[in-house]
Amino acid sequence: MANTENWERLEQALRREGILDERVLQAMARVPRDLFVPLECHNQAWLNSALPIGQGQTISQPLVVGLMTQALELLGKERVLEIGTGSGYQCAILAELSHTVVSIERIECLATSARDRLTYLGYSNVQVVVGDGTVGHPEKAPYDAIIVTAATPRVPKPLLDQLAETGKLILPVGSHTSQELVLYTKQQRHTTSRRLGTVRFVPLIGKAGWKEREANLLF
């Protein structure tokens, strides 16, 4: 957990931007963000900014983490699928708020370090899988909530197919220059959508996302 001064400053910033779900804020206070960033970034860990974590990836801005998590309206009984484990920070917050989390990371060294970190912190309700997140993880489907922490040009159909009835899927959709955070809700086999604002994420690479070559050229 952050020291009181660091967290209070960040909490005030989050509340000003509309992160008001007390369970989400309490979870973010409990998860030590400084343990999810490289040593050289420790002094910036509690700032409201994205930070590099290696392999061309980033840990998301706390505001974006709060916004995406709040939109899922987790109550504690959900089975959650996360696409893009990264350092494991978002995964830890999801683990605080749901029953189980399956998190998929395509970069093996990031998956390994995130798995070790989450185990060290005592998160026994998390499974980190190395693989193509764009095709989801059908073995544990359906999921009550799916969160994608990388940008895709279109909504991957496998993720919609693995979403439970009344489930929520949140992800950034768009091009390398313009992305919007969109929340999809499945209702009676149909989906409704709500736009939550402009964001900027690294590309979601995989069979149902960006091809690695085009992502390397564009992003």
- The DSSP code for 209 is S
How long a stretch of residues is the chain? 219
Q: Identify whether the C-beta of residue 114 lies closer than 8 Å to the C-beta of residue 149.
A: no
Q: Which residues contact 73 (CB under 8 A, 6 or more apart)?
A: 21, 168
Q: Which residues are catalytically annotated? A: 60
Q: For the structural domain made of 50-218, what CATH number should be given?
A: 3.40.50.150
Rg (CA), the chain: 16
Q: Per-domain residue ranges for the chain?
A: 50-218
CA distance 219 to 12: 32
Q: Give the closest residue to 61 by CA, choosing from 200, 197, 205, 195.
A: 200
What is the full per-residue pLDDT of the chain (219 aa) written as tens digits? 556 788 999 999 999 999 999 999 999 999 999 999 999 998 899 999 999 999 889 999 999 999 999 999 999 999 999 999 999 999 999 999 999 999 999 999 999 999 999 999 999 999 999 999 999 999 999 999 999 999 999 999 999 999 999 999 999 999 888 899 999 999 887 899 999 999 999 899 999 887 877 767 667
Query: 148 has which bridge partners?
Result: 83
CA distance 132 to 150: 12
> How many C-beta atoms surround the C-beta of residue 174 within 10 A?
18
